[in-house]
Chain A
Amino acid sequence: MSANSIWEYANPKKFIQTTDRVLPWISVLAVVSLVVGLIWGFFFTPDDYRQGSTVKIIYLHVPSALMAINAWLMMLVASLVWIVRRHHVSALAARAAAPVGAMMTVIALATGAIWGQPMWGTWWAWDPRLTSFLILFLFYLGYIALWEAIENDDTAADLTSILCLVGSVFALLSRYAVNFWNQGLHQGASLSLDKEENVADVFYYPLLVCIAGFVLLFIALVFLRTQTEIRARRMRALLARERMG
């Protein structure tokens, strides 16, 4: 795909046509991956020698935490495209991704708390990774609220893009907090290129399938929600034109 052809998708009509074609396939793949990954992880993997059966929470906690961070990074890229090239679809894609990312953050925080209680003896600790994740969630809420609060779409896109740039610091901190500060209750990364640090293969493969499921679900939801934002924007423009004329 040439660099020029990428920008064709900045045309709202072209974006809706293309995503309409791929959305059913991505949705089916997402459901299949999630069902296979979760059934595999829940029913067909052993207990961990230290964490017992709570290790099964990894199939929800790790993919949702990964998507919480990566959703914000996707919003960052879309916001930069808006700032540099003023493509409306990119600003609307960032807006569409925010509630999905926020929900992923809630799932990561909730499953983390439920997992933490039996393992650490507490639902919550002001640990670097947990705290930066909570701040990331607050950034999601602020981002969504800012879009809702500003009537002019272009002004809203400008201001939310700046907020997204600032929030990216916390998205990166959430990812690397364990490495930056070697303290706190949270363990190191579950997925690593270092074989020693990585989870055992028996947990790793179903985890990969679950991650694929979460990624595909995220893409499907962002496509659907971006289509909705494009249509909502067109509707507002038509209604405004009708009021004036």
Chain B
Amino acid sequence: MPDLGKYAEAVLSSYAVSIVLLLVLVWLSVRRAKRIKRQLQDVESKVKKHG
């Protein structure tokens, strides 16, 4: 760990905030992608069944 001196709090909190926000963005995007893909498959199979 590098010696960040008196600015340690600012540097570490910048990294923490940014990494958390990026991870949240990726997680929300992947979760919605999976959910919509599954829902579309359900709707398509229902439509096919009803002709």
Bound-state CA distance A196–B32 (Å) is 46
CB of B22, distance to nearest CB on chain A (Å): 7
CB of B7, distance to nearest CB on chain A (Å): 5
Residue of B nearest to A96 (CB): B29
Taking a contact as CB atoms under 8 Å apart, the answer to whether B11 and A56 are in contact is yes
Residue of A nearest to B37 (CB): A231
Which A136-165 residues have a C-beta within 8 angstroms of B? none
Taking a contact as CB atoms under 8 Å apart, the answer to whether B33 and A224 are in contact is yes
Query: Which of A106-114, A127-135, A167-175, A201-209 lies at the binding interface?
Result: A106-114
Bound-state CA distance A235–B44 (Å) is 8
Residue of B nearest to A232 (CB): B36
Q: Which of B3, B7, B13, B17 has the most CB of A within 10 A?
A: B7
Taking a contact as CB atoms under 8 Å apart, the answer to whether A225 and B2 are in contact is no
Taking a contact as CB atoms under 8 Å apart, the answer to whether A61 and B21 are in contact is no
How many A-B pairs with Cβ below 8 Å? 94
Please, how many residues of chain B have a CB less than 8 angstroms from a CB on the other chain? 31
Which B1-31 residues have a C-beta within 8 angstroms of A? 2-8, 10-11, 13-15, 17-18, 21-22, 25-26, 29-30
Please, how many residues of chain A have a CB less than 8 angstroms from a CB on the other chain? 37
Taking a contact as CB atoms under 8 Å apart, the answer to whether B36 and A235 are in contact is yes
Mostly, the B contact residues are: helix
Taking a contact as CB atoms under 8 Å apart, the answer to whether A217 and B22 are in contact is yes
Taking a contact as CB atoms under 8 Å apart, the answer to whether B2 and A42 are in contact is yes
The 21 sampled A-B contact pairs (Cβ below 8 Å) are: A57-B14, A61-B14, A100-B25, A103-B21, A103-B25, A107-B17, A107-B18, A110-B14, A117-B10, A217-B26, A225-B32, A228-B32, A231-B37, A232-B40, A235-B39, A235-B43, A238-B40, A238-B43, A238-B47, A242-B47, A242-B50
B residues adjacent to A (C-beta < 8 A):
2-8, 10-11, 13-15, 17-18, 21-22, 25-26, 29-30, 32-33, 36-37, 39-40, 43-44, 46-47, 50
A residues adjacent to B (C-beta < 8 A):
38, 42-43, 47, 52-54, 56-57, 60-61, 64, 99-100, 103, 106-107, 110-111, 114-115, 117-118, 217, 221, 224-225, 227-228, 231-232, 234-235, 238-239, 241-242
